Copies of this chain bind each other. A is one copy, B any other.
Amino acid sequence: MKFKDYHRSHTCGELRKDHIDKEISLCGWIHRRRDHGGLIFIDLRDRFGITQLVFDPNVSIDLHNEAQKLRAEWVIFIEGRVRSRGEGLVNPKLATGEIEIEVKQMSVLNESITPPFSICDDTIEVRDELRLKYRYLDIRRGEVAKNLMLRHKAMLCIRNFLDAENFLEIQTPLLAKSTPEGARDYLVPSRIYPGNFYALPQSPQIFKQLLMISGMDKYFQIAQCFRDEDLRSDRQPEFTQVDIEMSFKIPDDILSLTEKMMKKVFRECIGTELSTPFPRISHQDSMELYGTDKPDLRFDMPLIRLDDIILESNFDLLKDYVKNNGIVKALCVKNGAELSRKEIDELGAFVGKFNIKGLAWMKKTADGFSSSIVKFFSPDLLLKIQSRLKVEENDLVLIAAESESIVNQGLDHLRRHIAKKRNLFEPSSFKFAWIVDFPMFSKDETTKELKSEHHPFTHPHPDDIGDMNKNPLKVRSLAYDLVVNGYELAGGSQRIHDPDLQKEIFKLLKLTDEDIREKFGFFIDSLKFGTPPHLGIAFGLDRLIMVLAGTDNIRDVIAFPKTQKASDLMMQCPSKPLKGHLEDLKLKATPTEIFWD
């Protein structure tokens, strides 16, 4: 084999009219072959594009014969002359569509057996398991490849932006120590200290705060993080975080830095101009108006509280909810009066999945409100409803009652469900917002104890610190989330730099001195050595790329993703340990059998 055989002069994506009559060489994969009028046409593919080759028996009968043997996904090297495709034969869908190559020499660099699915026909749906098993072929189909290129571009764009802002990328350990951040850690057994374990970090949180203490002001890292959780469709056991931390700054600073970064990323990666500053919505307002702390703001349709009106009405069924600590909220579907009884029933069934037992409804027609519940309201109350919900002719009002959390969850889903069904928004638009003034604590449903809403290093709002012991559930924190189109994209907070305040928080969280020493001992110590005020933010990079790429599936933006059971169908892992390995680690385990395929 001569290695010089395949020194290409160009990629398959770069030849244009300007190159006509040039002698060139290309390498690539046989994307498609067509025999046509005595000529053989080959679409040759690499990651840069596709170029059309022509094998003409008048140029070389031998080459033409050889070309007949070529099969899909074989790898070839060719030499030839660039020529115009001629009138009417231009392919405007291809960047190289104005030219083709008259082939004069060819070497087959490698053959291919028949792939398990078609590479060239991306209209064929391939089932997920097969795509993951043959991921290296799935990537060839182009969609994932395009996302990986976008991901590369976004990562580099972020790095250069932060560098220009004087941030340093500093790598932190992956063999670390378990810290209680909510989810379960992945463990790594130590061989030197048998029975002891490292933990793969869920985030570089402790390290980035330590870097602030060390004086490394303005840190960032595009960091691998790990969570051993039961996976939802948009989660992976290993994921990537853009992690940022700085000292001597306040939340306003990091919000505007982030806005500047998003502006640059969206402009450079997908050519979209974002308008900044992003609106800021308090956590309380967001929950009230949208039922969620990650509202989709591409459309309006807020949730409106009707408790007071219901109490004045004769609608006893809903009144009971309000009297028993429940709430009543409504939303107004513009032009929703056109919905049939059956369609409205379907919406009722939809919220039923979220434990709302039914939807009350009223249509506004030229003759006023109509429906079986109108009778419960005086004309005055109906006017109140109309003005509060901004109801116009032909609108539909939907009303739900239950506990606050159930109403919020159900109507958040309903709001997005209706908006999607009724095309109330431009899917490719981006509506960013900051959610601010989060509560510092919430109550754990099972233990009834306080727990951190963000994490235990979050700084309470300076105006609320006095209330912390008296009324902890009313204390706001200096945490902030960035949301876009119903996704949480980033979250962060001002951190506690005062060791006494940190201890007080731990006490409220009922962490014993022993817990604190065991889990954070060294970190609490570190706070005593002159910790600067500091704060940070962390982006889910996978999520950001999903938003940029316009996909709902996290697997579309990761080269080699895992299944929802955290397995890799391609490598077939996890797998049994190699012989002797568990003995080295002094571990005992009984491997369960995994059946692949």
User: Residues of A with Cβ closer than 8 Å to B?
Assistant: 1-4, 6-8, 27, 29, 45-48, 73-75, 77, 109-113, 115, 134-140, 145, 148-149, 151-152, 155-156, 159-160, 163, 168-178, 180, 184-200, 206-207, 210-211, 213-218, 224, 226, 228, 237-238, 240, 247-251, 462, 494, 497-498, 521-522, 526, 528-533, 558-560, 562, 565-568, 570-578, 581, 584-592, 594
- CB-nearest residue of chain B to A71: B530
> Closest approach, in angstroms, between the C-beta of A496 and any C-beta of chain B?
11
- CB-nearest residue of chain B to A112: B530
Q: Assuming the A-B contacts A522-B570, A573-B176, A577-B178, are A200 and B215 also in contact, with contact meaning beta carbons closer than 8 angstroms in the complex?
A: no
Contact partners of A163 in chain B: CB under 8 A? 152, 156
Between A and B, 28 residue pairs with Cβ closer than 8 Å are A45-B215, A47-B218, A110-B533, A115-B529, A135-B210, A136-B210, A148-B170, A156-B159, A170-B559, A171-B240, A171-B559, A175-B238, A184-B584, A188-B188, A188-B574, A190-B574, A192-B565, A193-B594, A194-B592, A196-B573, A196-B574, A196-B575, A197-B576, A211-B559, A216-B559, A521-B572, A587-B588, A588-B589
> Closest approach, in angstroms, between the C-beta of A443 and any C-beta of chain B?
23
Q: Are B198 and A574 closer than 8 Å at their CB atoms?
A: yes
Q: Assuming the A-B contacts A74-B530, A532-B109, are A589 and B195 also in contact, with contact meaning beta carbons closer than 8 angstroms in the complex?
A: yes
Q: Are A175 and B170 closer than 8 Å at their CB atoms?
A: no
Q: Are A170 and B187 closer than 8 Å at their CB atoms?
A: no
Contact partners of A199 in chain B: CB under 8 A? 573
Q: Are A250 and B3 closer than 8 Å at their CB atoms?
A: yes
Contact partners of A566 in chain B: CB under 8 A? 175, 190, 192
Q: Are B135 and A152 closer than 8 Å at their CB atoms?
A: no
Which of B189, B211, B215 makes the CB contact (< 8 A) with A29? B215
Which of B148, B196, B590 makes the CB contact (< 8 A) with A592? B196
- CB-nearest residue of chain B to A207: B560
Contact partners of A177 in chain B: CB under 8 A? 568, 571-575
Q: Assuming the A-B contacts A136-B214, A139-B214, A156-B163, are A29 and B530 also in contact, with contact meaning beta carbons closer than 8 angstroms in the complex?
A: yes
Contact partners of A494 in chain B: CB under 8 A? 3
Q: A6-B533, A175-B237 are in contact. List 13 more A-B contacts (CB 8 A).
A: A47-B215, A47-B217, A75-B530, A75-B531, A136-B211, A140-B215, A148-B170, A176-B568, A178-B581, A190-B574, A197-B574, A197-B575, A197-B576
Q: Are A110 and B532 closer than 8 Å at their CB atoms?
A: yes
Q: How far apart sit A77 and B250, CA to CA, in the bound complex (Å)? A: 14
Which of B4, B29, B174, B533 makes the CB contact (< 8 A) with A3? B533
Q: Are A498 and B110 closer than 8 Å at their CB atoms?
A: yes
Q: How far apart sit A566 and B111, CA to CA, in the bound complex (Å)? A: 46
Q: How far apart sit A38 and B253, CA to CA, in the bound complex (Å)? A: 39
Q: Are A155 and B136 closer than 8 Å at their CB atoms?
A: no
Q: Assuming the A-B contacts A559-B207, A559-B211, are A191 and B184 also in contact, with contact meaning beta carbons closer than 8 angstroms in the complex?
A: yes
Contact partners of A577 in chain B: CB under 8 A? 178, 187, 197
Contact partners of A176 in chain B: CB under 8 A? 568, 571, 573
Q: Are B187 and A189 closer than 8 Å at their CB atoms?
A: yes
Contact partners of A207 in chain B: CB under 8 A? 559-560
- CB-nearest residue of chain B to A581: B187
Q: How far apart sit A588 and B195, CA to CA, in the bound complex (Å)? A: 8
Q: Are B173 and A568 closer than 8 Å at their CB atoms?
A: yes
- CB-nearest residue of chain B to A560: B173
Q: Are A567 and B193 closer than 8 Å at their CB atoms?
A: yes
Q: Are B3 and A462 closer than 8 Å at their CB atoms?
A: yes
Q: Are B47 and A173 closer than 8 Å at their CB atoms?
A: no
Q: How far apart sit A522 and B211, CA to CA, in the bound complex (Å)? A: 42
Q: Are A172 and B560 closer than 8 Å at their CB atoms?
A: yes
Q: Are B112 and A529 closer than 8 Å at their CB atoms?
A: yes
Q: How far apart sit A541 and B47, CA to CA, in the bound complex (Å)? A: 28
Q: Are B152 and A247 closer than 8 Å at their CB atoms?
A: no
Q: Are B462 and A136 closer than 8 Å at their CB atoms?
A: no
Contact partners of A196 in chain B: CB under 8 A? 573-576, 591-592, 594
Contact partners of A211 in chain B: CB under 8 A? 136, 139, 559
Q: Assuming the A-B contacts A240-B171, A462-B1, A562-B175, are A198 and B573 also in contact, with contact meaning beta carbons closer than 8 angstroms in the complex?
A: yes
- CB-nearest residue of chain B to A167: B152
> Closest approach, in angstroms, between the C-beta of A441 and any C-beta of chain B?
19
Which of B137, B192, B214 makes the CB contact (< 8 A) with A214? B137
Q: How far apart sit A251 and B214, CA to CA, in the bound complex (Å)? A: 44
Contact partners of A174 in chain B: CB under 8 A? 174, 200, 224, 226, 238
Contact partners of A217 in chain B: CB under 8 A? 46-48
- CB-nearest residue of chain B to A138: B214
- CB-nearest residue of chain B to A248: B27
Task: Across the A-B interface, give the 9 residue pairs with the lowest CB-CB distance, nearest first.
Answer: A195-B591, A112-B530, A139-B214, A177-B573, A190-B574, A196-B574, A588-B588, A195-B589, A73-B530
